Each structure stands twice: as structure tokens, then as C-alpha cells.
Structure 1
Amino acid sequence: MDAILKPIGSQVEAEVSSKPVARPSREDAEAAVRTLLAWVGDDPDREGLVDTPKRFVKAYKEIFGGYFEDPAEHLKRTFEEVGGYDDIILVRDIPFHSHCEHHVLPFDGHAHIAYYPSGGVVGLSKIARVVDIFAKRLQTQENLTAQIVSAIDEHLSPRGIAVMLEAEHKCMSMRGIRKEGVSTVTTQFTGVFRDDPAEQVRFMTLVRGGR
């Protein structure tokens, strides 16, 4: 019986697909790669390509590993011994690599994430892990931004969240309009950041500080 692929994590199954997806076998995936190699006009049986389907599938398993991780596992442990600290926490310049769901081409950039704790705080590396989990799925930058906010909000319940993503998309530079060096910026604010424009200014100032 075919395995059923059920993406896990904050609202992910509903956002990725309205129903479970039957996952093809590794052999099926490798055969599909052979078909694509032949379709572009090359010989899948030549020396340089004969092992490419295996390598391709192995690489895809790593590149899209976020489908098999749950951000809740990284956000469930918090620390309350912070000396009464209740001000902004900002993790800046988190690098990420993702793939556009429209052309399966890379987009790369940096995430800046801030929150006002309402109780405990989470380990700083866990914020970066959340970015990686959602980035390692087929994405749009807008959806990636919203998923990061949703996961943090659901599991930490902070008084406010601010997220900004800056990225360059290969689907714009490698094909179509072919414009190099174009950056796309997305932001989303909740709680005190959404309600108070001064907090948004503070966030942007901290993100851009020293630049």
C-alpha cells in the first residue's frame, strides 16, 4: 500500500493540501527524474547522469525535509528564569533557503523575528529552527512569513510578534523577466507591534541598526 504523506506542524496540512497525499516510492521518484533528464534532451544512461536520479532524490529529501518536522517540538520548551525581562527579543539576520512552489526554483534570504514575551522565552536557536522547518517546503514568501508568525503565536502566545523576510527569487533572475538583484520584502505584525506603529518603527530600527 502506498504511504500517505501528511505534512505536520502548525496548520500545515490544511495549507499544503486539503487531503492526504499518496507518496510515491523512491523508485517512482527516480524514474520521474530519468524522464525529466530525457525530456530536456540528455541521455539518462550516460556516465555522468546514470546516478543522477538517486542523487537528485536524496538531495530532495534533505532540501524538503521540513515536511517531516514539527515546529512545536522546538517551541514547547520555554525558560522563565529571565530576571523579569519583558522587553523585545529580536533574532536578526537568520539565513534561509527555500523553493518557490510555482517553478520549484530557489529563493534565499534572511529572516528577522522579534517578540514580546508574555511569560517564558524560547531558546534563540529554536527560532532559527522554525524558519528552517517552514523554508524547507515548497513555499511562497508570503506564506512562509505567515507560517512563522502562526507557529510562534500558537506555541508561545507572546504579547506581539514582528517578522520580516528579505529574499531574492531565482524565478525572477533565471527565467521570465531575468532581473538580477531584486529583493522582495514581506512583513507581518501581531499584538503590540500591530497596534502601535511606534513598535513597528522600533523593530525596523533594530533590524537596520548598524547598517
Structure 2
Amino acid sequence: MHADSDDALLPGWYDSFNRMVLSHPESDIIYFENDSDTLPHNTLIEKYFDKQSNKNDCLDFGLRVTVPWGRVYKTNFIKENDIWFDELSKASDVYHGVNTFLKAKKISLSTSKIYHYYVHEGNISANFTKETWEDFKYVMYRKGDLVNAYLKQNNLNYRHYGTYLLKQGIEGKVGFKEIVSCLIGIKKHHMAIFPSFSQLASYLKKSK
């Protein structure tokens, strides 16, 4: 189990942790909720809670919840698949999070809250530099290729977006030329830029 040095485990976390581990010995990964309202984790866990018996029914969950904290891994699963973190200035956990999800034979979701995620200005993810931008592009492009290979291998359809990368570039004011290059890179690495009609309709319906 991983935890960031500036975060905290909630009181009673071990009881929830131990109960889930003992009752789900077949799971390679167990995901828990956290007490932060700034992230989509809890909403996605609750949305896909009834579909967790089939990992491929939870693709949207596994490809969006990529941080390593707030979950527990089976040690042998990590060792046998030789999974490591990237040594990067930003998003070093994204590929790890997606790779573990796609390689896991069985996952479990828990609505127990065991983790507190702190948001503050000192977070690495909140800082934008040329180095972090280049590293972020590298990670997202690799993620796109990894997801595409998995979808093809398992004959699955999933609209994998690269818009978050584009959003980061625009907010970081990387310039027009870099944004155009980013658009080309997103397409090249098998990610979508625009939402489907059904997703757009769903968004418009919620916003009314």
C-alpha cells in the first residue's frame, strides 16, 4: 500500500483495510474511497460498485483513477508483473496506475474511507514547468498506446480521451505551436479529443 508523505490515513483505516483483504484474497487490487471531495474517486467507486465482478465493465473507473494511494496491491501481483513507477517530475504514477489496473485479473471496490488526500500549493502536480509538461506528455502518450493495445487484445470499445493533457497545456500557456503538436500527438497515440454525441447529450442534460 502506498501513501504520499503529505497525506494521512484516517482513524480506523486498518480495520477496513484488514476486513477487505481477508474477504477478497483473490483480488490483485482493492480500491478504497477517500475523504477528499476534490477528486472523482468516490463517485466512480459508487458508480461502478455493482459492476466490479467484471473488470472490463469498469474501464472508465480504472483509467481515470490512476493514483496509487488509497488502494492495496497483492505483493506477488506487483512482483510477477515487474511493475515500477516512472522516474519523472510529474505524473510518475499515471502509467503505474493504468498498467496495474489492466494487468489485474481481479479487482475489488470498497466504499470504506481510509485515506485523506491533502490539496495545497506545494503539490508537485500543481506546479507547471517545461520539464513537467514534457514529462506529462510522455506519460499520457504512453498511456494512450497501452490502453489501445489492451482494447485491441480484448476486442473492447472504449473512448479514451486525451483532453486532460490538452487542458493542462492551455492552462500552462505552452503556446499555439505546442498545442497543435499536442493535438497531433493525442491522435497519434490513439486518444479522442471530442466527446461522443451520447456523452455530450448526457453532459448537456446534467447542466440543465
TM-score after normalising by structure 1: 0.28
Q: Which has the higher contact order (CA 8 A, sep 6+)?
A: 2
Larger Rg: 1
TM-score after normalising by structure 2: 0.28
Structure having the larger proportion of residues in strand: 1
